[in-house]
Amino acid sequence: MGTGQVVAIVILVVLVLAVVVALAVFRRRSAAQRQIDATRYRQEAASRAESADRLEAEAAERAARAQREQEQAAELAEMARRDRELAEKRGAQAEKLDPDGRFDAARPTTDSDGETQTQNGEADIRR
């Protein structure tokens, strides 16, 4: 074996060792990087979980508020229905008392001065 061959073998061994050392360093960095990534992902997951909890609480609050508003709307609708029934009853009673509606036409009104006016605009003589 000549000197050139020995030098070539030594260079080849040195290159193989350099590749092995580079791989070992890369693996160490890779493991450290994985740990860093895992820590970052855990922090992000915790942050997103907190955000999801806040959003869930807000959604529940809005649903409760909507339920209360729905109940209030139902109460108002019931009040309107009762008022309408009462108005219809009063209208029927008025119709029984004055079927021709003469009382409404002859009913005196009061102007801005407090003076009572009749339907044709003349002052009421009876005081």
Q: Could you tell me if 90 and 97 are in contact, meaning their C-beta atoms sit under 8 angstroms apart?
A: no
Where along the chain do its domains lie? 3-68
Q: What is the DSSP string of 14-80?
A: HHHHHHHHHHHHHHHHHHHHHHHHHHHHHHHHHHHHHHHHHHHHHHHHHHHHHHHHHHHHHHHHHHH
Residue bearing tokens 């050139």:
4
Please report, for residues 13, 33, 50, 102, the alpha-carbon distance to residue 41 in angstroms, rounded to integers and kept in the order given.
Answer: 41, 12, 14, 85
Look at 105 and 87; give whichever has higher pLDDT: 87
pLDDT tens-digit map of 5-21? 889 999 999 999 999 99
Instruction: Tell me the longest C-alpha to C-alpha distance in the chain.
Output: 149
pTM: 0.45
pLDDT digits (tens, 9 = 90+) for 46-71: 999 999 999 999 999 999 999 999 99
DSSP state of 116: E
Residue 85: alpha-carbon gap to chain centroid: 37
